[in-house]
Amino acid sequence: MGFTTILDIIASIIIGGILMMITWRLSDAATEKTYNNSGELSLQQNLATVAQILENDFRKIGYCADWNKFPDPSKAVVFADTSNIIYLTDIDLDSDMDSIRYYLGPTSELSATPNPRDRLLYRVLNHESPLASNLGVTQFKMVYFDALGDTIYPPITVAGSITSIEINLSVESVAAYDQKYSSAFWRQIRLVARNLRNR
Amino acid sequence: MSGKASLLLIMGFSLIFLVVSRNFGDVSNRAVDNFIDYHTETVAHDIAVSGANIAANNIFMDPTWDEGYDDVPFQNGTMNISVEILDPYKNIRQVTSQGTYRGYTHTAKVTLAPSKFSKFAYYSVSEGGTIWWTESDTVWGPFHTQDYLRAHKHPVFFGKATTKRSLIYYTNERTDKPYFYGGYEQGVNLPLPTNAVDDMEAIADDDGFKLSGHDTVYMTFDRDSLRYRYSYNAKNTVVYLPSAAPNGLIFAKDCVVRLNGVVKGQYTLGCSSNMSAGKGTIYLDNDIVFDKDPRIYPTSNDLLGICAENSVLITNNTPNQSDINIHGSIYCEKGGFGAEKYDTRPKSGNINLLGGIIQNTRKAVGTFDSNGLKTGFAKRYKYDERLMVASPPFFPGTGGFEIVSWYE
């Protein structure tokens, strides 16, 4: 074994080390990107799902399959607060009015998830148990407007004055690589439930 | 040897990059798919809602319109609209609008019903001058005026309020803005018919009860009977209303009606005028109330329309000097609802109205000073919620439709 061989070995070790470093960094970067991209995909899907559910439900405020049973839709909103709303609608089209409540739970309920800000967005149909799944909701905020388009500030004493609603929804990934949470935001600038304006 | 290792190294890295890039590409595709799905559903929804709006507008412009549309291109999608008559007797119509975009279809259904003036808690063509709605004024049902709505210190409107002309504040919006708890729309033109009371005659001839040829008719509803006479001291004639007026319409032609009593069932009284002075006016000589007050008996079917070609006035007499109770929807085609000699009669208590007032011109019922009521009546008007879905028989209609239900 001559001097050249020793040089070859040393050079091989250095090159091998560099390659291993590159591979390790590549693996780390690939893991991070994969984690983040998958997280963002889930995030977008969660956001679209929640937005579709909210739009579907909120557009039916005051609707009844038999309109004679609920002739004054202006009474459809029962309670309204920043992150809490109760309203009446015939969600199952059986001509009987149902009540739907949406509200945001506390962050402490999801202390098991790495994201400290995510919360459960609850949907309560009539007197059934509240339903929720962790979709990474961090903000569910509503702003209410009266017939002249002016903002109504909570506490709203006469819910019948509400004619349109702004819905703000923020969603974050429930877990993230190196705590770099992705976030997405959806806003329905003016959701007008048409039945609130009937007659 | 080193060449083979290099080849393996390159192939290994290439494989890793292929897997990673495929994964990234897949994630990107699914993200775009997610966005496109939401966009597709939103556009299909928008097309369906636009179609429903177009169809509703067509029906508002032409109440007989029922042609619909087939495969109309709209917003890069297609729109299909059909109109179905759900109830031929009540003329209830349903518009079904389907919006299709990139294979996704959304449906909106709109139900429309003929609009009757009886649904209003308050309607006026003219507010009778510069009269302000003030902080002590509350309207409990639908409101419409063809005139300006003049607001002073936050009047309250619990039903939907519409005006043809604009909203005027006494001082400014901050101090005078009305509380609209049922919504508000401006620029809504809803004129009062000019011959709706005259048109009742033919309906009364068909299957109702008609009185004609006298200047004055004294009428007393005695539950399901009607007592009437043509002079104050004359003897009453009694008819059993379900037989005499099966369609529920009682019509007094070209005369003055003096009315009171207790109503059982659903009736509309029409009183016309052939341009004779004072005719076509209904005087309320005493209480005119339902047999079963719906506030006490929620299942009560009693309804009354009091339709005068000119005015409906509270008579200045002894029985009306301590409150008057009125149950019914009052319609004054050319005049208004008011109190006879409102500015000289004594303080007469309250007008306890359960129903609505539809009038051409707002009239006064009393006068006030800083100590309160000076002459005439104070107003205690309560809307009969049943008028949102029911109306007295043959009560004048607006000639158009209104949206009663919207599903999307």
- For residue B226, what are the contacts with CB-CB under 8 A and spacing of at least 6? B209, B219, B220, B238, B239, B241, B244, B245, B250
pLDDT at residue number A72: 82
φ, ψ of residue A6 to 5 degrees: the values are -60, -45
Cα–Cα distances in angstroms (integers) from residue B41 to residues A58, A151, B92, in the given order: 16, 30, 30
Query: CA B392 to CA B244: how far, in whole Å?
Result: 17
Taking only the tens of pLDDT, chain A with its 199 residues reads: 688 889 999 999 999 999 899 888 888 888 888 888 888 888 999 999 999 999 999 999 999 999 888 888 888 999 999 999 999 999 999 999 999 999 999 999 999 999 999 999 999 999 999 999 889 999 999 999 998 889 999 888 888 889 899 999 999 999 888 888 999 999 999 888 888 876 6
Average pLDDT per consecutive 10 residues, chain B (408 residues; last block may be shorter) = 80 85 84 91 96 95 93 96 92 95 96 94 92 85 94 90 95 93 91 95 95 96 96 95 96 97 97 87 98 95 97 96 96 96 94 96 89 87 92 93 92
- CA-nearest residue to A23 within chain B is B13
What is the identity of the amino acid at A184? A
Query: CA A136 to CA B254: how far, in whole Å?
Result: 74
Q: Is residue B89 part of a domain?
A: yes
Residues B257 and B377 in one domain: yes
- CA-nearest residue to A57 within chain B is B408
Nearest residue, CB atoms, A63 vs list B184, B389, B406? B406
DSSP count for chain A of H helices, then E strands: 1, 8
Contact A147 B184 (CB under 8 A): yes
Give the three-state DSSP class for B177: coil
Domain encompassing residue B273: 192-403
Q: Mutate which of B1, B2, B28, B38 to disrupt the A interface (most A C-beta within 10 Å)? A: B38
Which chain B residues are closer than 8 Å to A152 by Cβ? none
Average pLDDT, chain A: 91
Q: Is residue B134 part of a domain?
A: no
Omega before B73 cis (within 30°)? no
* Cβ neighbours, 10 Å, residue B296: 8
B380, B351 contact by CB (below 8 A): yes
**What pTM was computed for the model?**
0.81
Q: Is residue B81 part of a domain?
A: yes
Which chain A residues are closer than 8 Å to B37 by Cβ? 48
Distance from CA of B263 to the nearest CA of A (A): 24
Query: CA B184 to CA B161: how far, in whole Å?
Result: 5
Give me the number of domains chain B comprises. 2
Which chain B residues are closer than 8 Å to A199 by Cβ? 119, 142, 160, 388, 402-404
Q: Would you tell me the crossing angle of helices A3-58 and B2-61 to the nearest 10 degrees?
A: 10
| Extents of the domains making up chain A | 39-197
Q: Is residue B79 part of a domain?
A: yes
In the structure encoding, which two tokens stand for residue A172, read together? Answer: 């974050």
Query: CA B310 to CA B363: how far, in whole Å?
Result: 12
Contact B30 A19 (CB under 8 A): no
B147, B126 contact by CB (below 8 A): yes
Q: Tell me, yes or no, if B345 comes closer than 8 A to chain A by beta carbon.
A: no
φ, ψ of residue B404 to 5 degrees: the values are -110, -15
DSSP string over B78-102 = EEEEEEEEEETTTTEEEEEEEEEET
Using CA atoms in the order B333, B339, B340, B342, what is the torsion angle rounded to 10 degrees? -130
Distance from CA of A187 to the nearest CA of B (A): 14
pLDDT at residue number A1: 61
